[in-house]
């Protein structure tokens, strides 16, 4: 059973040859079968293609009823009779490409809904789809082929590059965005940063936030995530950076290329991430520190110091992963009741 066609109509059926080409797989014998969609191993039927990656899924592979499966060479022998094996180096990556072949991102349906409020001096590129109750402010520039879903807001002076998508209730303020940028439902970009000074009398005096947000090409920002504009200077998300849902990025944060920031992460102001940094769910990054290229931060870690390039850190406060695991093992031995095994486990 593939995707529900009410929500995800599939482009197809497609030939094995077309699927193999998209997956980068060699097709030994083409029996002429057509496939209608993608599905998980356990749910796939004879007209679906699935994928198997990793040993823990081999049992499901043996039992699958899929018409074809994307599989690594070392698991090909487990493919059941009647199922075509498409051998690839990275099955999950190949599956992503095949799924996109069946379910391409919807193209814009050009036109402006009559309920949209478009400033007279705003520029709307050719072929854009502007949905109900969209607001585009004075002097804003929307590139060609963009889609703005219901209640999306593009603030005055903002620039949104070609082929970008703002989903329902997303807002873009004080922002220059590149091409192919996606803001998912309820994402907030360019809102005021958390900047204030507290007087001796306990009053909080707001510091005007007069910077911008710069979004590189291909940046994606998850539902209800927030990216504050700079206090002075800019907040910058480098090309290809992806934010999961409910991420908070403070003012003047900068990321390099292709960073991945997972759900409920909070990054305090003026921190800098190098290229391809990964921050796992619920981690917190304090302000004014640097995470070097390729650094990885574990889930729920509390990062309070600079992280060198290529280092994995976990724990709170975050230490290099190996040191943290050794410290946990030592602590567990200290509190373990006498007579337990070396792991400190209890029955």
CA-nearest of 287, 243, 281, 292 to 268 is 287
Q: What is the mean pLDDT of residues 324-343?
A: 76
Do residues 165 and 129 make contact, with C-beta atoms less than 8 angstroms apart?
no
Q: Does the pLDDT value for residue 116 go beyond 80?
A: yes
pLDDT value at residue 338: 66
Question: What is the value of pTM for the model shown?
Answer: 0.92
Q: How many CA atoms lie within 13 A of 132 on its CB side?
A: 0
Six-digit token string for 258? 């292709």
pLDDT value at residue 206: 96
DSSP 270: T
Give the whole-angstrom CA distance, residue 222 versus residue 200. Answer: 39
Do residues 47 and 68 make contact, with C-beta atoms less than 8 angstroms apart?
no
Q: Does the pLDDT value for residue 343 go beyond 70?
A: no
Six-digit token string for 109? 């349906």
Condensed to tens digits (0 to 9), the pLDDT of residues 167-223 reads: 999 999 999 999 999 999 999 999 999 999 999 999 999 999 999 999 999 999 999
Condensed to tens digits (0 to 9), the pLDDT of residues 41-91 reads: 999 999 999 999 999 999 999 999 999 999 999 999 999 999 999 999 999
pLDDT value at residue 347: 36
**What residues contact 324, with CB distance under 8 A and at least 6 apart?**
313, 314, 315, 318
**Distance between first and last Cα of the chain:** 42
Give the whole-angstrom CA distance, residue 42 versus residue 48. Answer: 11
Radius of gyration, CA atoms only, the chain: 25
pLDDT value at residue 344: 47
Q: Which residue has the higher pLDDT, 29 or 171?
A: 171
Do residues 79 and 71 make contact, with C-beta atoms less than 8 angstroms apart?
yes
Instruction: Judge if the upstream peptide bond of residue 267 is cis by omega within 30 degrees of 0.
Output: no
List, in order of start, the domains of the chain with CATH numbers.
Answer: 14-102 (3.40.1390.10), 109-252 (2.160.10.10), 258-347 (2.160.10.10)
Residue 251 among the catalytic residues: yes
**Could you tell me how far CA 240 lies from the centroid of its own chain?**
9
Question: With bands split at pLDDT 50, 70 and 90, how would you rate the model's confidence at 30?
Answer: confident
Condensed to tens digits (0 to 9), the pLDDT of residues 6-26 reads: 999 889 899 999 999 999 998
Burial of 343 (0-12, 13-18, 19+ CB in 10 A): exposed
Condensed to tens digits (0 to 9), the pLDDT of residues 237-273 reads: 999 999 999 999 999 999 999 999 999 999 999 999 9
Do residues 216 and 180 make contact, with C-beta atoms less than 8 angstroms apart?
no
Give the whole-angstrom CA distance, residue 165 versus residue 179. Answer: 10
Neighbours of 157 (CB within 10 A): 16
pLDDT value at residue 340: 59
CA-nearest of 39, 23, 40, 27 to 93 is 23
Q: Per the residue annotation, which of 169, 251, 288, 306 is the catalytic one?
A: 251
Give the whole-angstrom CA distance, residue 63 versus residue 4. Answer: 23
CA-nearest of 210, 266, 217 to 235 is 210
Q: Does the pLDDT value for residue 341 go beyond 70?
A: no
Condensed to tens digits (0 to 9), the pLDDT of residues 271-328 reads: 999 999 999 999 999 999 999 999 999 999 999 999 999 999 999 999 999 888 888 8
**Could you tell me how far CA 187 lies from the centroid of its own chain?**
13
Mean pLDDT value across the chain? 94
């Amino acid at each position: 059973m593939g995707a529900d066609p009410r929500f995800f109509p599939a482009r197809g059926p497609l030939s094995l040859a077309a699927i193999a080409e998209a997956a980068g797989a060699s097709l030994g014998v083409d029996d002429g079968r057509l496939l209608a969609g993608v599905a998980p191993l356990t749910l796939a039927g004879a007209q679906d293609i699935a994928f198997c990656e990793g040993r823990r899924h081999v049992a499901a592979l043996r039992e699958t009823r899929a018409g074809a499966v994307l599989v690594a060479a070392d698991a090909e022998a487990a493919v059941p009779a009647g199922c075509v094996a498409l051998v690839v180096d990275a099955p999950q990556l190949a599956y992503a490409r095949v799924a996109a072949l069946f379910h391409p991102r919807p193209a814009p349906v050009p036109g402006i809904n009559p309920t949209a409020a478009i400033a007279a001096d705003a520029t709307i590129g050719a072929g854009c789809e502007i949905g109900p109750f969209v607001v585009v402010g004075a002097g804003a520039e929307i590139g060609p082929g963009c889609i703005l879903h219901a209640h999306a807001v593009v603030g005055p002076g903002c620039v949104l590059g070609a082929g970008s998508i703002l989903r329902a209730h997303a807002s873009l303020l004080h922002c220059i965005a590149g091409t192919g940028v996606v803001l998912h439902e309820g994402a907030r970009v360019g809102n005021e940063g958390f900047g204030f000074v507290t007087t001796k009398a306990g009053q909080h005096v707001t510091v005007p936030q007069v910077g911008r947000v710069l979004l590189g090409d291909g940046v994606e920002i998850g539902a209800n995530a927030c990216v504050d504009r700079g206090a002075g200077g800019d907040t910058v998300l480098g090309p290809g950076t992806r934010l999961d849902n409910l991420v908070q990025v403070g003012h003047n944060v900068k990321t390099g290329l292709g960073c991945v920031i997972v759900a409920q992460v909070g990054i305090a102001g003026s921190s800098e991430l190098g290229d391809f940094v990964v921050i796992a769910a619920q981690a917190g990054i304090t302000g004014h520190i640097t995470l070097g290229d390729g650094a990885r931060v574990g889930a729920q870690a509390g990062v309070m110091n600079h992280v060198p390039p290529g280092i994995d850190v976990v724990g709170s406060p975050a230490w290099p992963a190996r040191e943290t695991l050794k410290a946990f093992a030592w602590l567990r031995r200290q509190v373990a009741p006498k007579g337990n095994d070396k792991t400190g486990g209890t029955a």
